Amino acid sequence: MLKIENLSVAINNKKILNDFNLKINSKEIHAIMGPNGIGKSTICKTIIGDSNYEVVSGKINFNSHNLLKLDITKRARLGIFLVNQMPIEIPGVTNAEMLRVALAEKTGENVGLFEFNKKMEEICEKLLIPKSFIHRGINEGMSGGERKKNELLHLWMLEPKFIILDELDSGLDIDSLKVVCKSILEYYKTHDCSILIISHNPELLESLNVSHVHVLKEGKLIASGNLNLAAKLAKEGFKGITKTNNISENKKDE
């Protein structure tokens, strides 16, 4: 599904990713962990095509498309979807307006208002958000947790194939996190998709049944494993993980 090879990315001439490799197959759920400021969001934003991130070298392929040749809109049309660490407000454009236009773009036909409203209302009920969200400005005046749920409303409506969840748990209270996890798992079980999640929370990774856990350091993945690696990191921190003592585990995922 997604294959990143020898990717180097710079921001303001500072190299953040350096020979970064990652392969995610259909139905796999991968997590990337790493200290603050190491480049996790840079990976997410480079995959979606944020032009602030300069790709110096390397390749990103998604279902045989060369992503680096496509702008952000074309990548979204292929089914790549990013839930940002801090989703931004777009005042003056409501969820309903944006989603109806986006769905019409995606399907090539206008979506019936009755069906559209029914589906939106059902999703709001499941996410425990008020139906008034449907006609609110995108993320406008919403709390951090509400924004994450609002992004999930978009996800359910747009039905992406590759989902990137950047620090999913930030802003969510304990109960909301459970609701959001349940919703993501339900989506995963009912859709042909893969997920890349950034999180420091081993319990969250466990509840999402993450299949592969990686550690990012010095611009590349220095260790890969399963949920045991996340548990080890929670216990021992990132210091004990070095390139040499985990490189063999890393190789099998490249």
Residues contacting Mg ion: total by CB under 5 A: 3
Q: Which stretch binds ligand ADP (CB under 6 A): 10-18, 89-97, 135-143, 233-241?
A: 10-18
Query: 3-class SS at 65?
Result: strand
Contact 196, 24 (CB under 8 A): yes
Q: Looking only at residues 84 through 113 of this chain, which bind Mg ion when binding is defined by CB under 5 A?
A: 85
Nearest to ligand ADP of 12, 64 (CB atom):
12
When the beta carbons of 157 and 166 are compared against ligand ADP, the nearer one is 166
CA–CA separation, 73 vs 75, rounded Å?
5
Listed ranges 3-11, 80-88, 89-97, 130-138: which one lies at the site for Mg ion (CB under 5 A) = 80-88
Please say which residue, 84 or 150, places its beta carbon nearer to Mg ion: 84
Asked if residue 163 lies in contact with residue 2, where contact means CB atoms within 8 angstroms, the answer is no
Q: Is 244 in the site for ligand ADP (CB under 6 A)?
A: no
Interaction mask 51-70, ligand ADP, x per CB under 6 A: -x------------------
> What is the three-class DSSP state of 107?
helix
250 contacts ligand ADP (rule: CB under 6 A) = no
Q: Is 40 in the site for ligand ADP (CB under 6 A)?
A: yes
At 171, the amino acid letter reads G
Beta pairing partners, 57: 8
Q: How far apart are CA 254 and CA 238, in angstroms?
A: 21
Q: Which stretch binds ligand ADP (CB under 6 A): 8-16, 128-136, 157-165, 172-180?
A: 8-16
Q: What backbone torsions phi and psi does residue 192 show, to the nearest 5 degrees? A: -85, 100
Which residues lie across from 10 on neighbouring strands? 15, 54
CA distance 31 to 47: 15
Of 3, 7, 32, the C-alpha closest to 225 is 32
Q: For residues 8 and 170, which CB has a smaller minimum distance to Mg ion in the complex? A: 170
State the nearest-atom distance from the C-beta of 52 to ligand ADP, in Å.
5
Decide whether 52 or 190 has the Cβ nearer to ligand ADP: 52
Torsion-angle region of residue 248: left (phi > 0), alpha (psi -120 to 50) or beta? alpha
17 lines the binding site for ligand ADP (CB under 6 A)? no
Considering only residues 41, 84, 183, 194, which one is a binding residue for Mg ion as defined by CB under 5 A?
A: 41
73 binds ligand ADP (CB under 6 A): no
Minimum CB distance to ligand ADP smaller for 38 or for 152: 38
Instruction: For residue 204, give every residue at least 6 positions away whose Cβ sits within 8 Å of its Cβ, in sequence order, or none.
Output: 168, 169, 177, 181, 197
Residues near ligand ADP (CB under 6 A): 11-12, 16, 34, 36-42, 52
